[in-house]
Amino acid sequence: MAKVIKYGLEIKVPKEDKQRIDILENITLGSSDRSDIVIEAEGVSPLHLKFKIEDEVLTVTNLGGAGNTKVGRHALGQGKTYILDKGDKITIGKTTLLVTTEKVEEEEFEVQEEQEELIEDEGTEEAIPVAALEDSDNEVAEEVDQEEEEGEAEEYEEEEEAEFEEEKTSTFVRIRRILDRKSRSTPQSQSKFKKSKNNYPPIPGFAFRILSILINAFILFGIFFYVLPLYPIDKEIQPVLDFILSKKELLLSLIPPEIMPKIPATVLVVIFEPLYLKIALAYMALELAFHFLLGTSLPLFLAGVKEFSSNIFVARIKAVIRCVLGFITWPFLIFDLPLLINKRTFKEVLTFSHLHYRGPAFKFISLFIFYPAIILSVILFPLLPIAEDLIVKRTVTETKNIVKPELNSEDEFVRTIINKSFSIKTKFELKPGLYVIPSIAAGYPQMTFMDNDGKRTVKMKISKGIDLNPEFKKIPENDFYFAKSSPKLNLFLKQEKAEEGFEDEINSIIVDTLSLSLLSVHQFILNHGPFFKPYLPIREKLFEKLGRPASSQIIYRNREKILKIESREQVIKTNYYLPLIGLVIPIVEIEFNKNSEVLASKIITLYEDSSPVKPSMVPSFDDVDEWNGFLILDMLTTMLDKSKPLPKALAKETYKYFFSMIKKSNESKESKMDRTLIKTFKEIDLAIKAAIKARGENRQLSDFNYSMNRLQKALEDKDQAFFQMNAP
């Protein structure tokens, strides 16, 4: 008589006696009453292991045990199968299973099997069809998980406990007798199984699917804007784009004629726009890659969602087909609406797929760790190269348009000043004790304000403008998002068209670039896209020109489109004003020292309360009744502009104005005002010579130069007789 191998398990749970159980055929082990061997111990899942004997070879398969399951020193992964032999030890947490074997006569073995079946027939009339599910063990395992988590199988579990109460062999191990395979496959048993509720674990709901789509969008955003620019794929992808565009008419013909008129033309334009087609192709490639590698999309995978299949290759094939069907059916949301009632989608039904959660822990970890990490990494990634620059505290604040009270226009000292040199219109209180001295410093207009005692001085001057043309022309080359964020400026830079409003796009870039910081990055992305580096040269050039005031405060006066930069670290304090009038920005400086802060505040108010001057608002010099320092400055700057005729009143009115200034200086006997006037005459002399060189020999300019030199010499020599004899 031949002998056969009889396998057994020696089970040891902490604080319990060992127990030996024979393995006569395929059996399952877990903590649920659905298992053949029930072990209620720490780390044991509802349906943890499956033991199978085939050709006298014993194998064990991990059906979904989340605990630390090892065979010897080797971890047994989920869905993995391991061949067992005598002496092999399986550990589940603190529970150990020792494999034992013995050889028995074949006849004795068959008799024992018949006795087992007889006991089952007598003791269990309504058995649960375990073997009927032999080919879908994972489905049963996950079914148990769901029924235990949702509490929807309480009645069934109570029946199970009553049914197997007499079969408990100890306080920690309960053995369910193995039923005859034929009895398991009866129509009655299968009918009972099919009618049971929640045959599969819970599927990802509609809200979670929408969230995963949003996370997918962030991932696509990061790849499309940060990775693809480093590895241009336009040449490789262009044939695909050309093929799609060549089939445009065919694709449109698939739309029913009654629906076609209702589709806005802009929608069709967007769908076949090459940029959007490129984004769509990148998204499809990304999704296909994730489905092939992970069995589902990356966000769902991170949330612990997997395909209800024990075969990894079958799961991947299903995933790819499911993904392709999703691309085809995405316009028809009706195919995904079953998610609202926790049912499978159309593509999942067609591919016999059952997506489910591996456990609630994965979902919460994704919601609070993985998903936020993806979002933050996509947003903060472009900041890494410029993080050090953004640490410097520079702020841009926007002032509100506050209507200030008007000055008393009936006051004899209040005048409305229109100054072409500084492009301002303002109301100015010309008090007798305030002197305004115009000059030309290094070829640019300058105003010097002095109080009645000549000790407090404030200078308002225009320096050479900042030419940002080179920096702006490089932006479209390094930021392909630029054409979408600043379309009018993009056309202007290409010298194709100067549409109204492109200046506003210039101003927006300058203001947002200067205000760029870790706190304002989101606003910058919304306005201009995710690329920061092409815009940094603008920022660097502005601050290089302004001496990089590290602790300066930048204030944007939206109504006048003026940037104000306050520098507080220098001995001589300066307020910089940048009128945003194009790609060449003049810099207006109001310079003062500590002793002149009160006077400076008045001049600052004068400038900040001004409004921009349009060419039509500038009066003709021939129509001026009363001359002041602002108008004299405009005449001096006109002298430097060879494209405009010289004002007839240039020499006469300038001589009269400076003569009156010298007279006031003599009356006040303040040496500082004398020095200021002498310096002013030298600067004007240089300006006149520059104008003569630019315009050629000009009698009017020569006479003006002669009269101003006489005034300067008399002032330096303190020749009082000259001022008495040569009064205008």
Diameter of the chain measured on Cα atoms: 151
Cβ pair 723, 667 in contact under 8 A: no
Of 165-174, 396-405, 544-553, the least confident:
165-174
- In three-state secondary structure terms, 614 is coil
> Six-digit token pair at 315?
């799961």
Nearest alpha-carbon partner for 438 in 639, 677, 638, 723: 677
Nearest alpha-carbon partner for 220 in 329, 372, 374: 374
Average pLDDT over residues 127-149: 42
Of 63-67, 560-564, 653-657, the least confident:
63-67
Nearest alpha-carbon partner for 478 in 558, 537, 402, 401: 537
Average pLDDT over residues 13-35: 82
Greater confidence, 554 or 601? 601
Greater confidence, 411 or 79? 79
Per-residue pLDDT tens over the stretch 322-343: 999 988 887 777 778 888 777 8
In this structure, what DSSP letter does residue 539 have?
H
Which residues sit opposite 53 in a β-bridge?
58
Q: Which residues contact 235 (CB under 8 A, 6 or more apart)?
A: none
Average pLDDT over residues 332-355: 81
Give the per-residue pLDDT at 39.
Answer: 85
Residue 309 CA to residue 348 CA, distance in Å, equals: 13
Give the per-residue pLDDT at 726.
Answer: 83
Q: Has residue 171 got a pLDDT over 60? A: no
Of 53-57, 601-605, 609-613, the least confident:
609-613
Of 10-24, 298-312, 374-388, 611-625, the least confident:
374-388
Residue 714 CA to residue 651 CA, distance in Å, equals: 17
Nearest alpha-carbon partner for 577 in 567, 415, 569, 457: 567
Give the per-residue pLDDT at 173.
Answer: 52
Task: Say if strands 395-399 and 553-557 run parallel, antiparallel, or are unpaired.
Answer: parallel
Taking the CA atoms of residue 504, residue 509, residue 514 and residue 518 in that order, the dihedral angle to the nearest 10 degrees is: 130
Return the HEC string of 192-259: HHHHCCCCCCCCCCHHHHHHHHHHHHHHHHHHHHHHHHHCCCHHHHHHHHHHHHHCHHHHHHCCCCCC
Average pLDDT over residues 80-104: 86
Give the per-residue pLDDT at 715.
Answer: 87
Give the per-residue pLDDT at 233.
Answer: 72
Distances (CA, A) of 87 to 10, 76, 84, 106: 10, 17, 9, 23
% of the chain exceeding 70 in pLDDT: 75
Cβ pair 176, 120 in contact under 8 A: no
Greater confidence, 372 or 135? 372
Per-residue pLDDT tens over the stretch 425-477: 888 776 767 788 999 988 889 999 988 666 788 999 988 888 999 999 888 88
Q: Has residue 489 got a pLDDT over 70? A: yes
**Integer distance in angstroms from the first to the last C-alpha of the chain?**
145
Q: Has residue 640 got a pLDDT over 50? A: yes
Give the per-residue pLDDT at 288.
Answer: 92
Give the per-residue pLDDT at 333.
Answer: 72
What are residue 427's phi and psi, to 5 degrees?
-105, 125
Host H or E run for residue 75: strand 74-75
Residues in the chain: 728
Q: What pLDDT band is residue 382 in, cutting at 50, 70 and 90? A: low
Average pLDDT over residues 603-620: 77
Cβ pair 56, 48 in contact under 8 A: no
Q: Has residue 160 got a pLDDT over 50? A: no
Q: What pLDDT band is residue 188 in, cutting at 50, 70 and 90? A: very low
Of 215-219, 260-264, 294-298, 707-711, the least confident:
260-264
Q: Has residue 14 got a pLDDT over 70? A: yes
> Six-digit token pair at 193?
């199984």
Give the per-residue pLDDT at 527.
Answer: 78
Residue 302 CA to residue 295 CA, distance in Å, equals: 12
Average pLDDT over residues 515-542: 77
Average pLDDT over residues 117-137: 40
Give the per-residue pLDDT at 626.
Answer: 80
Q: What is the CATH number of domain 3-195?
A: 2.60.200.20
Q: How confident is the prediction for the chain on average, in pLDDT? A: 76
Pick left, alpha or beta for residue 7 (phi over 0 → left; psi -120 to 50 → alpha; otherwise beta): beta
Greater confidence, 529 or 631? 631
Q: Has residue 563 got a pLDDT over 80? A: no
Average pLDDT over residues 589-611: 84
Give the per-residue pLDDT at 664.
Answer: 80
Residue 439 CA to residue 603 CA, distance in Å, equals: 17
